[in-house]
Amino acid sequence: MREKVKDPERLRHILEAAQILSEEAPKHSLEGVKNDRILFFGLAKLIEIIGEASYKLTKEFKDGHKELPWEVIVSMRHVMVHGYYTLKPEKVWETIIEDIPPMIPVLKKYIDEFEG
């Protein structure tokens, strides 16, 4: 049987996806996301990864680390997976620009807790 992925590794998955989104955002624009379906779905997939990895974090971890809105993150994942046909470039772009950057230092702090 495969070993379950632990919280620190899930946090690294979240951080990696968040960093990619933050690095890619300055190279693009909302208009670019609207006009390039591959770009749109690629960015959306990274947000989905953040939501999926957040969903898989243990309840104990999330209950003890409330600086990030885990329920909101997981809810967005559900929309992206099950309501994929309702995704709008504006919402994806807004998430990347407004919600992702503030997550990065918090995620680094969480990872440091496990490593320190």
Closest residue by Cα to residue 58 from 115, 21, 104, 110: 110
Secondary structure (3-state) at 44: helix
- Whether residue 39 lies inside any domain: the answer is yes
- Whether residue 106 lies inside any domain: the answer is yes
Query: What is the rounded CA–CA span in Å between residue 61 and residue 32?
Result: 37
- Whether residue 1 lies inside any domain: the answer is no
- Whether residue 57 lies inside any domain: the answer is yes
- Whether residue 89 lies inside any domain: the answer is yes
- Whether residue 80 lies inside any domain: the answer is yes
- Whether residue 48 lies inside any domain: the answer is yes
Cβ–Cβ under 8 Å, residues 100 and 43: no
Task: Give the pTM.
Answer: 0.92
- Whether residue 35 lies inside any domain: the answer is yes
Cα 71 off chain centre by: 12
> Digits of tens for pLDDT over the chain (116 positions)?
455 669 999 999 999 999 999 999 999 999 999 999 999 999 999 999 999 999 999 999 999 999 999 999 999 999 999 998 999 999 999 999 999 999 999 999 999 998 87
Domain count, the chain: 1
Cβ–Cβ under 8 Å, residues 5 and 56: yes
- Could you list the residue range(s) of the whole structural domain that residue 21 is in? 7-115
